Amino acid sequence: MKPAPALAATPRKASGRQRPNRRPISVATREAILRAAEDEFAARGFGGARSDAIAERAGVNKALPFYHFGSKARLYEEVLKRALGRLGEIVTHTIESPQPAERLAYFVRDLSSYLAANPNWLKIITRELVDDGPRSRAIARRYLKPLVDATHAEITRAIESGHMRAMDPLQAMISIAGEVIFYPLIAPFLEGLGMRKPLAAVNRAKREEAVLTLLNAALRTPQIGKVQSSNPD
């Protein structure tokens, strides 16, 4: 099985103007800026994020965040690359498992744990979906499509080997991811309905078990039929 492709940056075309050399900063300072930028983008979105607010969060000079990374767009891209890189690791862990029966459980539990520990990721992605702009489509093409393609191929193999019900692999991916992502998304509503700490480990474990029970019942009964794919070209 081939691992999911790494989320490497797409090479950019060289322009006539050379970017000025940026003064190097320490690893700790860079990490502080990226963490602060993640918090700011999650709270205010790309359009509302401000360099001085990021700098204040990171404890650095107010010009440093955008100056070091070149622009707000480049800083935002770096934040996204870090967040979606972890998703790539989860997908790789899933498809590299030697036991097909374990792959679904790995994905559900790994993604559930990641979302609970990194709430900013879901906020940033949700803001992108709400904005529904060209940047969202570019993010999907650049960072998500390689993961979707790798998972599509693995689900197709599982269907052909009889481990999984015959269905469109892309629709299967949407259903699996949706079952996991929706829960932390509605966590505030669940608290309003009386559930204490929906993202606590004990409650997440209950949700993961429910999702796995539902998905295993839906996906693991083989049926005869040709797979019709809606995987985008």
- So what's the pLDDT on residue 194? 95
Query: Residue type for 101, please?
Result: A
The widest CA-to-CA distance across the chain, in whole angstroms, is 63
- Residues 16 and 46: their CA atoms lie apart, in Å, by 28
Q: Domain for residue 9, yes or no? A: no
For residue 33, the SS3 value is helix
Q: DSSP secondary structure string, 94-129?
A: HHT-S-HHHHHHHHHHHHHHHHHH-HHHHHHHHHHH
Question: Which CATH number characterizes residue 33's domain?
Answer: 1.10.10.60
For residue 167, the SS3 value is coil
Q: How many CB atoms lie within 10 A of CB 64?
A: 18
Q: Which of 14, 38, 70 is the last residue of a domain?
A: 70
- Residues 71 and 58: their CA atoms lie apart, in Å, by 17
Q: Domain for residue 12, yes or no? A: no
Exposed, middle or buried, 126 (CB in 10 Å: 0-12/13-18/19+)?
middle
Smallest CA-to-CA distance from 88 within 101, 107, 74, 105 is with: 107
- Residue 225, C-beta contacts closer than 8 angstroms, at least 6 positions apart: 166
The vertex-45 CA angle with 44 and 49, nearest 5°, equals: 65
* Domain total of the chain: 2
Beta strand segments in the chain, E: none
Q: Domain for residue 119, yes or no? A: yes
Q: Which of 46, 70, 94 is the last residue of a domain?
A: 70
- So what's the pLDDT on residue 86? 86
- Residues 209 and 165: their CA atoms lie apart, in Å, by 20
Residues 101 and 153 in one domain: yes
Q: Domain for residue 97, yes or no? A: yes
Residues 84 and 36 in one domain: no
Contact (CB, 8 A) for 112 and 77: no
pTM, to two decimals: 0.79
The vertex-226 CA angle with 177 and 5, nearest 5°, equals: 40
- Residue 166, C-beta contacts closer than 8 angstroms, at least 6 positions apart: 159, 222, 223, 224, 225, 226, 227
Residues 115 and 172 in one domain: yes
- So what's the pLDDT on residue 187? 94
Residues 64 and 85 in one domain: no
Residues 136 and 186 in one domain: yes
Tens-binned pLDDT, residue by residue, of the chain (233 aa): 555 555 544 434 444 444 444 667 889 999 999 999 999 999 999 989 999 999 999 999 988 888 889 999 999 999 988 888 888 899 988 888 877 778 999 999 999 999 999 999 999 988 888 876 788 888 888 888 999 999 999 999 989 988 899 999 999 999 999 999 999 999 999 999 999 999 999 999 999 999 999 999 999 855 544 445 555 55
- So what's the pLDDT on residue 41? 94
- Structural domain boundaries, residue 135: 77-219
Question: Which CATH number characterizes residue 206's domain?
Answer: 1.10.357.10
